[in-house]
Amino acid sequence: MKVSKILLTALILAVAAVVMAVAKGHVAPPTKKVTHDLNHLKGDPKSKVEIIEYTDFQCPACAKASGVVDEELKKYGNKVHFEMKYFPLPMHKNARRAAAFAECASEQGKFWPMHDVLFKTQTSWGTLGSPDEYLTGLAASLGMDGKRLEFCLKNPLTEGHILRNMEEGKDIGISATPSFVVNGKMAVGGENFRKLLTEVVEGHVH
């Protein structure tokens, strides 16, 4: 009985340590199959440092973090590569629709321009009862084909792609945005990402 209690206590302490380590961004998430989309990628995929961001286009912290990401990508150049995945939160009623427009922009080779303009205009479309008219206007301003956009938005594969990103994120423990996974280590928020990225890159350099 005493041995069982000791083992149970040790197990509880071990689990608590892992939870704390994950919270600090120093433990790899559970091993799950990660899918990749080259249309959502910046940098050389052969570089040693992989950054994956799970984002919500209606999330103010994500909009702020996008500037941090741009700075860090310029700083490290071909040492890193960056991929963005969708993780619209339930509290943001228009985030999932914005993700659909981003995915349809991706189909037309306009993912990153749409990504940028969605964050820049976040306060304009985020509070609308239905954002479709506004978001369609953004798509037109980027030179997207309206009929292709309409078909893409109705295509269940578009929603399926977003749902796969969300499920994948949940599987590795993502619950907030923006969340970053850098070579298997997690960080939440732009500044925490910056610190983690510096640690990982310098670890490869030295």
Long-range contact set of residues 121-124: C-beta below 8 Å, sequence gap at least 24:
122/57, 122/58, 122/60, 122/63
Same domain, 71 and 170: yes
Residue 202 has a pLDDT of 86
Give the domain range for residue 197: 31-205
Tell me: pLDDT of 15 over 80.
Answer: no
Same domain, 61 and 22: no
Same domain, 110 and 185: yes
**Residue 39: which of 86, 96, 108 has the closest Cα?**
108
Tell me: pLDDT of 27 over 70.
Answer: no
Same domain, 72 and 100: yes
State whether residue 11 is helix, strand or coil.
helix
The predicted model scores a pTM of 0.81
The answer to whether 141 and 16 have CB atoms below 8 angstroms apart is no
- pLDDT tens figures, 85-110: 999 999 999 999 999 999 999 999 99
Same domain, 179 and 90: yes
Same domain, 41 and 17: no
Residue 39 has a pLDDT of 75
Tell me: pLDDT of 72 over 50.
Answer: yes
pLDDT band at 203 (very low <50, low <70, confident <90, very high): confident
Same domain, 18 and 35: no
Place of tokens 């009985």: 1
Residue 34 has a pLDDT of 55
Same domain, 170 and 200: yes
State whether residue 127 is helix, strand or coil.
coil
Tell me: pLDDT of 20 over 90.
Answer: no
- pLDDT tens figures, 119-157: 999 999 999 999 999 999 999 999 999 999 999 999 999
If one counts the domains in the chain, the total is 2
Same domain, 124 and 152: yes
**Angle value at C-alpha 54, between 182 and 105, nearest 5 degrees:** 120
The answer to whether 19 and 66 have CB atoms below 8 angstroms apart is no
What order do you get walking across the sheet with 179-182 strand by strand?
A: 41-43, 80-86, 49-55, 179-182, 185-188
Spatial separation of the C-alpha atoms in residues 180 and 54, rounded to whole Å: 6
Residue 35 has a pLDDT of 61
Same domain, 74 and 162: yes
User: Who has greater pLDDT, 12 or 158?
Assistant: 158
Q: Lowest-confidence range among 7-16, 151-160, 161-170?
A: 7-16
pLDDT band at 204 (very low <50, low <70, confident <90, very high): low
Tell me: pLDDT of 18 over 60.
Answer: no
Same domain, 100 and 145: yes
Same domain, 107 and 178: yes
CATH number, domain with residue 195: 3.40.30.10
